[in-house]
Structure 1
Amino acid sequence: MRRIRAAAVSAVTLSFVFTAAACGGGTSGTEGSNEKPKTLTYWASNQGANIRVDKKVLQPELDKFEDRTGIKVKLEVVPWADLLNRILTATTSGQGPDVLNIGNTWSASLQAGGALLPWDAKNFEAIGGKDRFVESALGSTGAQDQDPAAVPLYSMAYALYYNKKLFAEAGVDKPPATWDELVETGKKLSKDGKWALGAEGSNLSNNIHQVFVLAKQHGADFFTQDGKPDFTSDGAVAAVKQYVELMAKDKIIAPGSAEYAQNQSLSDFAKDKTAMVLWQTAAATFKEHGMSQDEWGVAPAPVRSGKPGPGEATNSMVAGINMAVFKNTKNIDGAKKFVKFMTSDKEQIILNKAYGSIPPVKTAQQDPAFSDPSLSVLRDTLATSAAALPQVPEESQFETVVGTAVKELFADAAAGRAVTTESVRAKLEKAQRQMPAK
């Protein structure tokens, strides 16, 4: 998902919320009245460099919707650090929005709470049909055996962004394609107070995204086929160790990055402090930081060997933002009209162009605005070498406990403490014990 969020809720809280009776959202309208309210509340996730940018992008589009339908949309842009807790509170209190953004990795977890409108065939028909959407985006909308809990809005994928100036100064003529190459190149780039690779060791969700991909490359997963946590397999342990060793052993990540929680690595990249960053759909953010497009390049994220592709050459999670509706909103029809508007071809082009993301709507994706070479890397990744995070009810707890384990290992690395197979396995064993029993 975009603007990688800090996982902000404990497994205990999540377990409580998901077993509670969900009351739904929708604060608009008059109690006891049969008249449909003329106002919808919308919680939008922070996609731009800051909330001001999001309001500048979204408000003109919401005004268009009001002009066409007579329905006013009250916008609140919610920071990622607050969004999940706000949603969880709304599911139990009923005091929430009518329509909201969710990170696509949360879809199955929030679906299990029962508060979100299921997107069955009838509801998809109301917004133009399910077949309008790219299959990979639909794969991150909820559990496979249930109607989706949300509709894809923005699609993203991870790539390796590199600073052309720092590469030239170090005599590096091309971006690395494998992890061995990245380490070799990184040692040439980590000098004179600069570092090769940006990271955010305290950003729990970013930690999860990176180690999930590495686990796929090691032929492992963090859950069994029947959905049980499997955090201590040899492949999962190797994945976490490999990621943290980029700081602890290879020394191509700055020790101070262990304390980074959200988006500081992009700022360092734009200020020529780091030469590479693994990020999802970063072009718009670089622009906000004053970096012109000719100053950076983009390449597929590294794999263990060969080229990115299905299976063990996975090099990204399927990232993105979904749009959901609280099923107890007082204006289901108006909410569905709003989702239809936001996922229309025209709006998909406007919004995804503004955010540097990719439309999950097939026809909108064909617009020339998305033919830029930097976006073609992301499109190819989504089409051929990205995998969805596990669509299980416990996914949010997984992000919290395993993301925290990686954070603690980065803290060890920054402090000069050894990061070993045994220490990694111990952290992951502790994380697995914190998961709800199945």
Structure 2
Amino acid sequence: MRKPFARKARIVAGALAAALSLTSLTACGGSSGSGDSKSLEMWTFKQSHVSALRAAAKEFKKETGISVAIEAYTPDDAYTTKVQSAAKTGDLPDLLEVHSDGEDRVLGAAGVVSDISSDFTGAWAARIQEAVHDSGLVTDPRYKNSLNNEAKDHGVKKGARYSVPLTVGTFGIVYGNKKVLADAGITKAPANWQEFLGALKATKAKDPKNGGLSLGLKVPATGLTWVLQPLAFAQLGQQKYEKLWGKDQSADFGSADGVKVLSMYDQLTPYWMPGSQTLTIDQADQAFAQGKSAFDVGGTFTLAYLKQNGMNPDDVLAFGLPAPADGAVPDRALGPLALTGVSVTSTSKQPGNAKKWMEFLSQQDVAARFAKNATDLPATELGADSATVLGPTLSALVDSFKGTPDTTYDPSRGDEFRPIGYEQDDAGAILADLSPLNQQSVQQTAQKLRKLDQSYWKAAGQ
């Protein structure tokens, strides 16, 4: 998957692969706390999940008599180091929360986590959202990719499942400060791109200093993947959208369609928060939480971070990036991705109890309470009553997923239509020169993106 969030996961997975290749990691020792047959241990890298997991653990103990100790190690680098060290010494916990579709397979290939494919069946499997059902599974395409000796997950077993999805999310979610918006006369989410631009104009007019839009553009790909791509999909439809990266110059970024979507993206230029190009993703979110912008672009996972930085989720208006009213897909949805999963370590002396805990987390009522406590979206399908359970802001995030296959922008697609070797940060850097930096025109940007893509096609010999 080609997106900034996955880049960090790939770095983590790469670090794990390098370290874990130094030692043979089969079931070589007992897990922490394994002396008590009714006690499990689970590690996570998500501090925002700790209280929610501990609350679920209390329910689990009441129901089963099995206790689960939850420990967090942050940031990601610290978590990676902790897992590396524990894997070498045989001191792993019973369960690990992992980055989905990358880190889980690396750990599986290294023998750190177990294959649970034979257990993930029946009612348990049926509760997981269809869109992410195969997350954690070594499908045929994933297995074929792993056969390359340089692959980080080289050694995985075809058909194995090394994790079960815990949380899902997507990119291209816009957050608005309800109070700031109300002061500018805005009381509901913009229905389309044109209304969104109007809302930006209104908040900027009301507060020229703090009325704009924040996004962590120091990570070049964010503007491309979180704004331009879902916007282009909505404007052009799936086929024409994919052709923007093709070899046919009558349909690529230098074409009339490419210029059209770049011109639409350029409409944001007057509204970026000053210094957006210097902000990391976290810094942009913090700026929004501090009242330095009226709107913030992120993902579903951003809401928990805003809460950590002092914002009440009820004070936030959340909605998927609006689609153009006159576009090919005016009702465009945003496809969900598996973000984190749970794995059973190969050294656990209680794999049966560990799987019971995983299955417990997937139960609809448990998953709903986890979602509210963690301010995150569960992989479990919550059903028609999700709005009542989750509240308005989290429900708005769920609503961004609602669409048909034809109207849903899937951020996980990319390898199918882009040239081998394509780097989104290179394209994102070109886009940043257009907006927010205003150093290149739309036409110049279109030609640079065309040249970049053609160079990838040529290098790949495709």
Map of 2:30 onto structure 1: 29
Contact 1:29 1:37 in 2 (8 A): no
Which among 268, 277, 288 is matched to residue 258 of structure 1?
277
Secondary structure in 2 aligned to 1:274? coil
Using structure 2 for the length normalisation, give the TM-score: 0.67
Q: Check 1:251–1:429 CA distance in 2 against 1; reply closer, same or farther (3 A cut).
A: farther
| Structure 1 residue 29: Cα displacement | 0.4
- Conservation of the 8 A alpha-carbon contact between 2:104 and 2:162: yes
Query: Cα distance 1:223–1:342, how it changes in 2: closer, same or farther (>3 A)?
Result: farther
1:25–1:97 CA contact under 8 A, matched in 2? no
Q: Which residue of 1 aligns with 2:371?
A: 352
CA drift at 1:97: 5.4
**Residues 316-327 of structure 1 mapped to structure 2, 5 A cutoff:** 316-325=334-343
- Which stretch of the first structure deviates more once superposed, 95-104 or 265-274? 95-104
Contact 1:160 1:277 survives alignment (8 Å): yes
Over the residues paired in the alignment, what is the CA RMSD in angstroms? 5.2
Q: Go from structure 1 to structure 2 and tell me whether the alpha carbon gap of 1:65 and 1:377 turns closer, same or farther (over 3 Å shift).
A: closer
Task: Output the CA distance in 2 between the equivalents of 1:114 and 1:393.
Answer: 26
Report the equivalent of 1:196: 212
Local SS of the residue matching 1:251 = helix
Q: What are the equivalent positions in structure 2 for 1:279-294 lying under 5 Å apart? A: 279-281=298-300, 282-292=302-312
Deviation (angstroms), 1:272? 2.5
- Report the AA paired with residue 98 of structure 2: I
Q: Which residue of 2 aligns with 1:133?
A: 128
Match of 2:8 in 1: 8
Q: Distance in 2 between matches of 1:100 and 1:272?
A: 36
Q: Does 2:295 align with 1:276?
A: yes
After superposition, what is the alpha-carbon deviation per residue over 1:153-187, rounded to whole angstroms, capped at 9, x for unaligned? 12334533222333344344654333343334323
Matches within 5 A, 1:355-366: 355-362=374-381, 366=385
Alignment-derived partner of residue 147 in structure 2: none
Secondary structure, counterpart of 1:176 in structure 2? coil
Aligned residue identity for 1:199: L
Structure showing greater Rg: 2
- Aligned mates of 1:320, 1:204 — CA distance in 2: 23
Would the aligned equivalents of 2:164 and 2:343 in 1 still touch at CA under 8 Å?
no
| TM-fit CA distance, 1:416 | 4.8
The structure-2 alpha-carbon separation of the partners of 1:256 and 1:369, relative to structure 1 and needing over 3 Å to count, comes to: same
Counterparts of 1:90 and 1:388 in 2: how far apart (Å)?
36
Amino acid at match of 1:323: G
Superposition pairs for residues 52-131 of structure 1, below 5 Å? 53-62=48-57, 65=60, 68-70=64-66, 72-73=68-69, 75-80=71-76, 98-104=94-100, 106=102, 110=106, 113=109, 117-120=114-117, 122-125=118-121, 128-131=123-126
Mark the CA change 1:315 to 1:104 in structure 2 (over 3 Å): closer, same or farther: farther
Render the CA deviation track for 1:26-50: whole Å, top value 9, x for unaligned. 786079xx9997765533232xxxx
Deviation for aligned residue 1:25? 7.7
Is the Cα contact below 8 Å between 1:24 and 1:94 reproduced in 2? Answer: no
What TM-score do the two structures reach when normalised by structure 1? 0.70
1:264–1:239 distance in 2 versus 1, CA, 3 Å: farther
Which residue, out of 425, 447, 451, partners 1:422? 447
Question: 1:298 — aligned with what?
Answer: 318
User: Is 1:45 paired with 2:45?
Assistant: yes
Aligned to 1:269, what secondary structure does the other structure show?
Answer: helix
Q: Which amino acid aligns with 1:185?
A: A
Percentage identity across aligned positions? 17
Please give the alpha-carbon distance, in whole angstroms, between the structure 2 residues aligned to 1:391 and 1:94. 39
Equivalent residues in 2 for 1:377-392, closer than 5 Å: 377-384=396-403, 386-390=408-412
Cα gap change, 1:288 to 1:411, in 2 (>3 Å)? same
Q: Structure 1: which 5+ residue stretches go unaligned? A: none
Q: How many residues align?
A: 417
Shift of 1:200: 1.1
Shift of 1:135: 1.4
**Deviation at 1:10?**
7.4
Higher RCO (CA < 8 A, seq sep 6+)? 1
Question: Counterpart of 2:119 in 1: which secondary structure?
Answer: helix
What is residue 213 of structure 1 aligned with on the other side? 230
Check conservation: 2:124, 2:359, Cα contact below 8 A. Answer: no
Q: Partner letter of residue 319 of structure 2? A: A
Secondary structure class of the residue paired with 2:175: strand
- The residue that corresponds to 1:314 in the other structure is 332
